[in-house]
Structure 1
Amino acid sequence: MAQKYKYARPGVETTPWNSLDVRVTDPFGNRITFTQRLPE
Structure 2
Amino acid sequence: EDFVLSGIDVAQRVFKLLSSDVAFEKLIEDGQNVKRGEVV
Same fold per TM (> 0.5)? no
Scaled by the length of structure 2, the TM-score of the pair is 0.26
Rg comparison, structure with higher value: 1
Q: Would you tell me which structure has more helix in proportion to its own residues?
A: 2
* Structure (1/2) with the larger strand percentage: 1
TM-score (norm 1): 0.26
